[in-house]
Amino acid sequence: MGAIRRSPSSEREFDVIVVGAGHAGTEAAVAAARTGASVAIITSALESIGQMSCNPAIGGVAKSTVVREVDALGGIMGRATDLAMLQFRMLNRSKGPAVWAPRAQCDRGLYRRAVRTLLETQPRLETIQGTVARLSLEGDTVTGVETIEGRRFGARTVVITTGTFLRGRIHIGTTTSVSGGRAGESATTHLAEQLENFGFVVERFKTGTPPRIDGRSVDFSSLAVQASEIDDFDYSWSHFWAEPRKTPNATRHPAQLPCWITYLEDAGKQIIQENIKLSAMYGGAIASRGPRYCPSVEDKVVKFPLAARHQIFLEPEGHDTSELYVNGLSTSLPADVQLDILHSIEGLQDVRMTRAGYAIEYDYYPPTQLDSSLQTKAVDGLFFAGQINGTTGYEEAAGQGLIAGLNAGRRAQDLEPVVLGRETSYIGVLVDDLVTRGVDEPYRLFTSRSEFRLTVRQDNALRRLSEIAQSLQLYSAAESAVAELRLENEDAALRLAREASVRPEQVNDLLAANESSPIPHSVKLIELARRPELNLADLFEVVGAEGISHDAILTAELEIKYAGYFDRERLQADKLKRLGDFRLSSEIPYDDFTSLSFEARQKLGSLKPSTLAQASRVPGVSPSDLQNLVLEVERRRENKKVVAE
């Protein structure tokens, strides 16, 4: 590793500085530290490290897989969730277990404290309180940062993870508009202006948050209760715990709490319709686009006028408060109108509003200005992650933070970047979508964005990614041992299913209980495990198998039941990987390749994809363009070889 460049009059020198300590920033800092880099994470308030600015929940469809992938690569979101989880649900239960999606409601305060504790277990990582005002540069290379307090820190690489703070502006109604990154915290202006002056294209997005209410003023007697399912699934978000989730005397997480379900009905919808012009989003105060799949309540009423009602979840914020998060009521209407809407909802007729909902506008930088390592193309050593790239969601931020931090740490040590293919992970899909296709609305992950959603699942994240983590030396010795044991368990479960036989008298009662055809003679367990009405855990119990973990059995069962589908996906993944192995230099003169269409030359020249696989996903590039591109590149390589000889 080269010597760290010393910035003039810098107080300290680091390999990596991370600006911001939300979900992207904390994962970036940990990932960089795990590469062996010296890391500082700088945030305006150390008390807000790991703050859940919006809904205190982790996971859900596609998002839960990202959490598990981040964990498999050494991240901390899964561990913090395990320590702070106060409610657990398994979504998508009406479908097969291959697409089940866990979701956890967290104690907001416990989550924040868990994240900070996990950061401080990293010996090469330091936390610093301050507000970064500007970057230090030498030419087009970043060399450090300076805070508004006048402190200077040198760095070989910098990761910016400022969330909604870059020129953030909070709106409540059409008359209340204040500068802020989130309620009660100042926006970041100087850094935003400097980035724009560098020539980065900057756009604006918006997002919103609902009101919070005092749970002591809610009439729960008329509401449906949604209890935690953690004991039904005995689920852990992290793969790396040495001890079980539950012992006779304690659980890893706090005591579980319920959520409650109610509805916005005609009375509330009428209030919104009558006051729609007072909404910041509909009254002209905001012109930016918001997340399509997390709409404001105003959007719901305007865009779905025939919907009879809209579901509302009342979600606990933590054990140390009676405050509830009103999920489904995100709004930028005036505070008095919000209170009227709340009072129209069943169970909330006498509710007290503790905090008004609001909308927030903020700067983001279209992510096609990044390469696949999440380094900016304009400034060497500068990386972006999280909402600054036009995404929405804690999990999407964490996935980007991990990749940016990992590559910033490696860049600081003169090592090659790490790029995850789409076939490896949802994180790979996320990053590839951002840098190749860009965004025109806040980007959110869905299973439909992946071509490999059966083989890229939350239960097999360790199987998919631990080899990469091991090769990059991201694990401690203890973590390596846990990962190896888990994979050995999966192998043992598959081996037992293939090798063990069961006799009719052992299993026919179980088959009858599950309305499955009896067997006339001994068969291998794997033959019965393929039946959709049977589960592998019950079959293992019949033959007296012990010592194999529940999680390993579930993964083995999915591999058995869906083997044909998985095999087809893996063939597609191998094909995509081969395309990814065809590298494209950033120096390719696309304008000279006249065999490509004009549109393809323009877009490829602008985006400069690093592989043929990435080029294939650029809008406007046809299959014939790809064939001609291969021929042009091969011809160019051959000509260079001839000249060299």
Query: Is the pLDDT score of 433 beyond 50?
Result: yes
Best-predicted range by mean pLDDT (223-227, 554-558, 567-571): 223-227
Which residue(s) pair with 182 in the sheet? 185
Asked if 512 and 546 count as a contact pair (C-beta separation under 8 A), the reply is no
Topology given in CATH for the domain delimited by 212-358: Elongation Factor Tu (Ef-tu); domain 3 (2.40.30)
Closest by alpha carbon to 572, among 419, 454, 460, 487? 454
Measured CA to CA, the distance from residue 391 to residue 77 in angstroms comes to 18
Half-sphere exposure of 45 (CA within 13 A, CB side): 11
Comparing 602 with 326, the larger pLDDT belongs to: 326
Give the three-state DSSP class for 3: coil
Q: How many CB atoms lie within 10 A of CB 385?
A: 36
Query: Is the pLDDT score of 352 beyond 50?
Result: yes
Which pLDDT score, from 0 to 100, does residue 95 have?
80
Query: Is the pLDDT score of 161 beyond 90?
Result: yes
Q: Give span(s): CATH 1.10.150.570, the chain.
A: 582-644
Measured CA to CA, the distance from residue 470 to residue 524 in angstroms comes to 35
Q: Which residue has the tokens 């999915």?
A: 558
Instruction: Check residue 153 and report its DSSP letter.
Output: E
For 451-493, the pLDDT digits (tens) are 888 889 999 999 999 999 999 999 999 999 999 999 999 999 9
- Provide the token pair at 33: 């530290």
Element (H, E) at 324: strand 323-327
Return the exposure string of 209-225: e unless at least 16 CB atoms fall within 10 Å of the residue's CB, then b: bbbbbebebbeeeebee
What CATH number does the domain located at 582-644 have? 1.10.150.570
Sign of torsion, CA 102 105 108 114? negative
Q: Give span(s): CATH 2.40.30.260, the chain.
A: 212-358
Best-predicted range by mean pLDDT (229-243, 339-353, 578-592): 339-353
Mean pLDDT of the chain: 92
Which residue(s) pair with 313 in the sheet? 261, 327
The mean pLDDT of 182-203, rounded to a whole number, is: 90
What CATH number does the domain located at 477-566 have? 1.10.10.1800
For 593-606, the pLDDT digits (tens) are 888 888 889 889 88
Which pLDDT score, from 0 to 100, does residue 3 have?
43
Which pLDDT score, from 0 to 100, does residue 1 have?
41
Which segment of 255-269, 374-388, 410-424, 438-452 scores lowest on mean pLDDT?
438-452
Query: Is the pLDDT score of 87 beyond 80?
Result: yes
The mean pLDDT of 405-412, rounded to a whole number, is: 98
Measured CA to CA, the distance from residue 450 to residue 602 in angstroms comes to 26
For 100-152, the pLDDT digits (tens) are 899 999 999 999 999 999 999 999 999 999 999 999 999 999 999 999 999 99
Which pLDDT score, from 0 to 100, does residue 641 have?
58
User: 151 burial class (0-12, 13-18, 19+ CB within 10 angstroms)?
Assistant: middle
Which residue type is seen at 619?
P
Whole-structure pTM value = 0.90
Query: Is the pLDDT score of 62 beyond 60?
Result: yes
Element (H, E) at 235: none
pLDDT band with cut points at 50, 70 and 90 for residue 2: very low
Q: Give span(s): CATH 1.10.10.1800, the chain.
A: 477-566
Instruction: Check residue 367 and report its DSSP letter.
Output: G
- Provide the token pair at 257: 């709490």
